[in-house]
Amino acid sequence: MEYFLQQLINGLTLGSIYGLIAIGYTMVYGIIGMINFAHGDIFMIGSFIALAVFLILTTVLGFTFLPVVLLIVLIIGMLFTSAWGWTVERLAYRPLRGSFRLAPLITAIGMSIVLQNFVQVTQGARVKPLPPQIQGGVTLMEGSTEAGRIVVQLSYMQMIIIVTTIVLMTLFTLLITRTSLGRAQRACEQDRKMASLLGVNVDRTISLTFVMGAALASVAGLMFLLLYGVIDFYIGFLAGVKAFTAAVLGGIGSLPGAMLGGLLIGMIEVMWSAYFSVEYKDVAAFSILAIVLIFLPSGLLGKPEVEKV
Amino acid sequence: MAAAVQTPADAGETKSWDLDPVLTVEHLTMRFGGLVAINDLSFNVGRGEITALIGPNGAGKTTVFNCVTGFYKPTEGRIAMRHGLGQQAQTVSEVTHSSLKWKPSPEGAVFLLERMPDFEISHHAKVARTFQNIRLFGGMTVLENLLVAQHNPLMRASGFTLGGILGLPGFRKAEQASIDKAVYWLEQVRLIERADDPAADLPYGDQRRLEIARAMCTEPHLLCLDEPAAGLNPRESHELNELLQFIRREHGTSVLLIEHDMGVVMEISDHIVVLDYGVKISDGDPAAVKTDPSVIAAYLGVEDEDLAEKPEVASIVVEALGEEAAEEAGIEIPPARKNGGDK
Amino acid sequence: MAAVNNAAVNTAAVDPNSLQASLKDALLAALLAGALGLFFLGIRTDIAPGGLAVRTRWGLLLTAMAIVFAGRLLLNLFVFKTKRPVTRAISGSMAGTGSALPTLGWWMGRGLFGFALVLPFFFMTFFPGQQRQYIDLAILIMTYIMLGWGLNIVVGLAGLLDLGYVAFYAVGAYSFALLATNFEFIGFWTALPLAGLLAAFWGMILGFPVLRLRGDYLAIVTLAFGEIIRVVLLNWYDFTGGPNGISGIPKPTFFGLEFSRGEGGFADFFGIEFNSIHRFVYLYYIIFILAIITNIVTMRLRRLPIGRAWEALREDEIACRSLGINTTNTKLTAFAIGAMFGGFAGSFFATRQGFISPESFTFLESAIILAIVVLGGLGSQIGVVIASIVMIGGIELLRNIGFLSQIFGPGFDPTQYRMLIFGLAMVLIMVWKPRGLVSTREPSAVLKEKKKIGADMVAQGEGH
């Protein structure tokens, strides 16, 4: 029981990260109907920027008060990662707007390759370890098993991740539902041509969607860095695929769906590793995806599509 | 069962479509969530006749089509398609009580369309259709479009591809025959000159005719046309009439069509079924339907009671219809109107 | 409304084509490049004794900004912000050749085929020093051509977006390797068809549940299946050898003759001097024949009802169903036949390498094959050939270009920039020609006059 609870907390933490990345996928898919394959790599870029800023602040400038450092890292990371998100859209997707469906998918895959190899070339192929920065936690429950004492612990790190995710999600939902930007976004989702006829700046709305997605991915990147303490240029692929899986699982185009899907994928992965085998955790996540899609093709919270004849 | 359909209320004589129906729709109901698109609809389509399904926008006509051609699974009801003459009541009831999708009968065969997936309906039950918003294979040539329609016989002839890959002579012959058939239909719809052009290149009217030709290449017993005259100019719409008459006359194909153009409907139909809000409000030959007050009311958006109780409504109807027809339909012509008419 | 008016005023006030505007735009681009590069070019983190250390490279960052500034300025002056862009002049001069292109394509196809036929002898005669390297490259390109043709059936003809094609490549390779290493009596020529059939079988198994899915969902599920197969290969030690892979896969024999030195070998039997190049030439012809078979079968299938049904499916699935086409079976055959050719290519890969491991079957491979198909022009056979030569040949050439290190100094290693340039090329070609290099469709049946069908009419499959 204690073991299960501990895994539940771990799953929630990992799921938060997936959920934050998944939002980027789901928004972009909702608005322009393409799989932004490079989004996972934007997440990776975000974690590298976070690492660089963190190191500059701590080792070069000598800041030591961690909360302030992390806040600065978060903000700078969001800004600079957003610039990457904007640039990718501007260079690789906007020229192909209104073109054929597969063209932006291929440029997205191309961009993904470019970003990975750009980081590999400029930062080296070796992993970047960062010693754990936030230690300790709150013990929620104690119990004993045959193997010995077992503790259910909610570490401060996990707390930060979960709270930040909740705060960002709330802000974000407000942004989408309450502001004119959100309205413009939903209008573009429905009918881009009509939206532009009604005076919505479609290009800017799409750009902002990419910027927002990248900003959230950068937060996920920072969390990933702090949680696992090790990053390399290749982390974006698997995290990206899983986050996309999460977005599809939750019903692509739906923001709460993306978060829910992220949590589920995180949970499945952690539980599978805990109870079955670590090696096959990715297989578990992908199999669940396939099963859900076959039996529930529009995901958990997506709107069911009626076939138009 | 379906007694109301088999003995029409408006006439003592039994109609041809009840004696020899190619298709019977019985108690068809289609719900989408809470929305009832079609409610307990029953009607017959006579063999070798042109039957029109009319009604205001949103009446559920296309939904009926989608149920008949298998694109929607009806919530309730039976849709029976018959090959061969007569009602074949015996076989229909046998198939219904078995778990079969269809069964050969002494006269031909009976197919329960609500049990069959869409492609089998076209393949086995021989029901072909066109679409309201034309669905051609735009990137393929006109000729290719017609060859795709002959997929099933060609697949058999190609030995399910294996014989075709090896280039067996049997397939060559079948392929030539399929091209000949395509040429025949291209001549009928006067598109033979455009045979090697991509379908998306054709003007709208030609695309409509090509879609009909493509459906005819499947050699259907029943051809379902969803608004074939939509967007056609008067000349094209007249040509369409002739084409449909030709199909019925030369090929004996029964036709079921949805149409808004009353000129087309009244001119070519043998039988008209009127839908409103998913319910049948009238059923009969064109003359009977034309004068049915409930049809008039439905088209003008007025209720029956209004027609009886409010003279101003009645007067609008009479104006729209012409006095003679109105009187025939049994609408009392308001006195005010009579006076006005005298002036 | 106000925004529109403002925009109008702005355009009236500042000529967007002026030098000033170009400079301003280039400056903004350079600043953006600076912002993007700040934490990547300007700063590098490295593992140092006391944890990570930060190193600054301001020179590199400034150089990059300068390059972006100059590049953007030149583009602005000659392409984006001028009344007579250079590109238009170029495309204008090329438009004249447009009508001649079909015959040009025909001759090009014949020419490439002829060259491919004599390719090993060409290199043996003219590049005796590097013949092995070049023939090896030709084998690699030919493998990708074959994979591209196989995937073209699925994506180009049937319009089903498959991001996990590498799975079938892997199934073919592993089936071949396991059959050939576990059963003595199964040689290359027996194992090859078996591996292809197994791949087709897997194509059906994987295809059956997923083919009802819409296009993008299909894409992601195929990607997931590709990854699942790779992870299983990686972790099923007893069967697949895990990350160590399978080694000692037998080389193909020429009617039982091995390409080995000494008695009973190929050279000995024919009484010629032993040369290790013989084996490469032989491998080249095997893949050449396999690829040609793939091409011939595909071209045949296109003219058969099944092939026409694939293309019709790509155009409009609902119309297909209304014409009595069983779309599930039709998709499944496309999937299975595509998988089968992938399996053949996989078997060939296994026998050529003599060693396989899951590392060769990553998503990147799927992406490269898909890129070849899309860049070449969906459904176009010659397009796949051109794209393979450009992309694969291009990457491999970067491996051994010496002159770059003379420019950038001896520490410059071109291989690490290979994939970066590959990715950039993918983006650029796609932006330049979104429908691929060869984008016209040839009709599969002709009544009187064969006309090419323009790319804008052909659907890419919405995958309902």
Amino acid C165: pLDDT = 92
A155-178 pLDDT, tens digit per residue, is 888 888 999 999 988 888 888 888
C215-265 pLDDT, tens digit per residue, is 777 888 888 888 888 888 888 888 888 888 888 887 777 776 777 766 667
Domain region containing A22 = 14-134+179-295
Q: Rounded to a whole number, what is the distance in Å from the CA of C209 to chain A's nearest CA?
A: 7
Q: Please state, for a pLDDT cut of 70, what percent of chain B lies above it.
A: 82
Partner-chain contact B62 A309, CB within 8 Å:
yes
Q: Is the pTM of this model over 0.80?
A: yes
Q: Please state, for a pLDDT cut of 70, what percent of chain A lies above it.
A: 96
Range list for CATH 3.40.50.300 in chain B: 1-126+220-284
Mean pLDDT of chain A: 86
B229-270 pLDDT, tens digit per residue, is 888 888 888 888 888 889 888 888 999 999 887 777 888 888
Rounded Cα–Cα distance for residues C168 and C170 (Å): 5
C62-104 pLDDT, tens digit per residue, is 988 999 999 988 888 887 766 666 665 555 555 444 444 556 6
C361-405 pLDDT, tens digit per residue, is 988 889 889 989 988 888 888 889 989 998 888 877 776 665 555
- Say if A149 falls within a structural domain: no
A181-224 pLDDT, tens digit per residue, is 888 888 888 888 888 888 888 888 899 999 999 999 999 999 99
Question: Of B213, B254, B211, B263, whose CA–CA distance to B233 is shortest?
Answer: B263
Mean pLDDT of chain B: 80
B343 has pLDDT over 50: no
C125-162 pLDDT, tens digit per residue, is 777 777 777 888 889 999 999 999 999 999 888 888 88
Amino acid B87: pLDDT = 78
User: Cβ of B31 under 8 Å from any chain A Cβ?
Assistant: no
What ipTM, to 2 d.p.?
Answer: 0.87
Amino acid A116: pLDDT = 93
Chain mean position to CA B18:
16
- Say if A302 falls within a structural domain: no
Q: Rounded to a whole number, what is the distance in Å from the CA of C445 to chain B's nearest CA?
A: 6
- What is the fold, at CATH topology level, of the domain defined by B1-126+220-284? Rossmann fold (3.40.50)
Question: Of B138, B143, B132, whose CA–CA distance to B201 is shortest?
Answer: B138
Rounded Cα–Cα distance for residues A284 and B309 (Å): 70
**Residue A303 DSSP symbol:** P
Amino acid C4: pLDDT = 42
Contacts of B205 (CB under 8 A, 6+ apart): B231, B232, B233, B236
Q: Please state, for a pLDDT cut of 90, what percent of chain A lies above it.
A: 32
Q: Rounded to a whole number, what is the distance in Å from the CA of B129 to chain A's nearest CA?
A: 11
- Say if A144 falls within a structural domain: no
Amino acid C97: pLDDT = 43
Residues of C in contact with A124 (CB under 8 A): 44, 46
Which is more confidently placed, A296 or C7? Answer: A296
B297-324 pLDDT, tens digit per residue, is 777 666 556 656 666 666 666 665 656 5
Identify the weakest region by mean pLDDT among B206-220, B302-316, C18-32.
Answer: B302-316
* B186: closest chain C residue by CA: C447
Q: How many domains does chain A have?
A: 1
Residues of chain C whose beta carbon is less than 8 angstroms from a beta carbon of chain B are 297, 300-301, 304-306, 308-309, 311-312, 314-316, 318-327, 333, 441, 443-451, 453-454, 457-459
C27 has pLDDT over 50: yes
